[in-house]
Amino acid sequence: MANPFTLGVASGEPMPDGVVLWTRLAVNPLSSDPARPGGMPDRAVEVRWQLAEDERFTQGLRQGTVQAQQSSAHSVHVRVAGLKPGTDYFYRFRASGELSPVGRTRTADDPASARPVRFAVANCQRFEHGFYTAYRHLAAERPDVVFHVGDYIYESRQAATVVRPLGPVPGEITKLHEYRLRYARYKTDADLQAAHAAAPWVTTWDDHEVADNYRGRGDGSAAFLRRRAVAYQAYYEHQPLRVRPQGGNLQMYRRRTYGLVADFMVLDVRQHRDATTMLGAAQEEWLLSRLRTSPVRWRVLVQPLFFARRFVPGPAPNLRPDSWDGHQAERARILAANGPGLVVFSGDVHNFWAGDLKADFLDPASAAVGAEFVGSSISSRPPQTDGPAVLAANPHLKFFDGRRGYMSCVASPEELRVAFRAVDFVDRRGAPVRTVAEFLTKGNGLTSENGSSK
């Protein structure tokens, strides 16, 4: 068999005592044969994993063997437990005589730790729109953990103008082998592989992992539910998740806590949604309860959609129904939970934004009860949004930038800092990265360190 490690390695779901290790075997990642995903043989393949405290695999070596099953497209999810908190580890796999690249991962901090947490947030990486240079720079920062807030793939048919082609199956995808192939195409990218190999990831999805702007059970048809189920299966097969899909559902909302410093509440704004609710009753109750009772300094919402009110001047609709502006009562209940140290990280809109969260967005005198930071996109093109006009129409929004990039953050007991890291171009390789703005918050609104556009 040829080298099966063409899709890289990854780790994720860090806890104080463990992580999940991931890879997927694919000797021919772009094979479009539905019966042979990744060009792999029609049988299970044995995979050996190793994890140690050093890159030469001599200190504290742990190892084991798992079977990569064809029913999971030969993906591998290894839950390693019994590790030390706040500690770097290195891991690799071996299969059919080939050795994978080495990945670096890190456990979450001890529950009593007050150590600062370094994390990055990324989103929206439409493959044919550009190169993932931003991920190359993110990887070099080696954060404690990377959050991805959705649009990891796009299900859409290939854009009219491409920087690089999707390859086989460029149409809109609806079937299991097509979702697998789309993930494989994305994951062949060396910069994306580098970002996964540099740190553990915690991911949530937005709409394009399934279908544009879908809500919950969609139109309720058997065809849509089948499509959603295969999309969720493919999502699981390509992310380092702890849990697998069951009966067409996948438990996505969850908490990842770093000591006494950061309580990351990762939301699912798609699976439980309908016209009346963004989160669904169970997820909302879980969130409100934790917001009220968390003993941790920063309550961090990690989710895709623009959270603050965003009035867009011009023709209706001036408030976007797919974002939190379409669920204002639910948003108000979250803000009214009044958890101190509330910070929201979002994506979706393909531009950088920063702003204050207000108890009443329509009252300029209303107190700031938190801050929101909206990541741009790794590669996806922005819409024709008039940044300055929207900024002017929303006093609580403080910053806009139209370049591609990611967010690089540090949470400490004293403050939370967010740097917007941008590249000037993605239509060719090699763009340098720069900090276009840096903000800090001590628990209410945000303060600009530099680069304020207002």
Residue with Cβ nearer Fe ion (151 or 178): 151
Number of residues that bind Fe ion (CB under 5 A): 3
* Among the residue ranges 89-97, 110-118, 123-131, 316-324, the one whose residues contact Fe ion (CB under 5 A): 123-131
Choose the binding region for Fe ion from 43-51, 68-76, 151-159, 399-407 (rule: CB under 5 A). 151-159
Q: In the bound complex, what is the minimum distance in angstroms from residue 208's beta carbon to Fe ion?
A: 6
Query: Shortest distance, CB of residue 124 to Fe ion, whole angstroms?
Result: 3
362 phi-psi bin (left φ>0, alpha ψ -120 to 50, beta other) = alpha
Q: Is the dihedral of CA 445, 276, 310, 211 positive or negative?
A: positive
How is residue 124 written in tokens?
């929206």
Buried b (16+ CB within 10 A) or exposed e, 376-408: bbbbbbbeeeebeebbeebebbbbbbebbbbbb
Distance CA 228, CA 176 (A): 10
Separation of alpha carbons 103 and 199, rounded Å: 8
Other residues' Cβ atoms within 10 Å of the Cβ of residue 369: 21
Residue number, 90 or 400, with CB nearest to Fe ion: 400
What whole-number distance in Å separates Cα of residue 352 and Cα of residue 22?
30
Taking CB under 5 A as the criterion, which residues in 342-401 touch Fe ion? 380
Cβ proximity to Fe ion: between 144 and 151 the closer is: 151
Residue type at 23?
A: T
- Member of 40, 124, 260, 334 binding Fe ion (CB under 5 A): 124
Long-range contact list for 273-281, CB < 8 A, 24+ apart?
Answer: 273/215, 273/216, 274/215, 274/216, 274/217, 275/215, 277/327, 277/330, 278/305, 278/324, 278/326, 278/327, 278/330, 279/253, 279/330, 280/216
100 binds Fe ion (CB under 5 A): no
Minimum Å gap between C-beta 157 and Fe ion is: 15
Instruction: Pick the closer one to Fe ion by CB: 68 or 138.
Output: 138
Task: Choose which of 141, 151, 284, 322 interacts with Fe ion (CB under 5 A).
Answer: 151
Minimum Å gap between C-beta 340 and Fe ion is 31
Closest distance of CB 276 from Fe ion, Å:
25
Residue 124 or 344 with smaller CB distance to Fe ion: 124
Minimum separation from the CB atom of position 141 to Fe ion (A): 22
Check: CB of residue 89 under 8 Å from CB of residue 83.
yes
Nearer to Fe ion, 125 or 408 (CB): 125
Give 380 or 441: the residue with its C-beta nearer to Fe ion.
380
Least distance from Fe ion to the Cβ atom of residue 343, Å: 21
Residues that bind Fe ion (CB under 5 A): 124, 151, 380
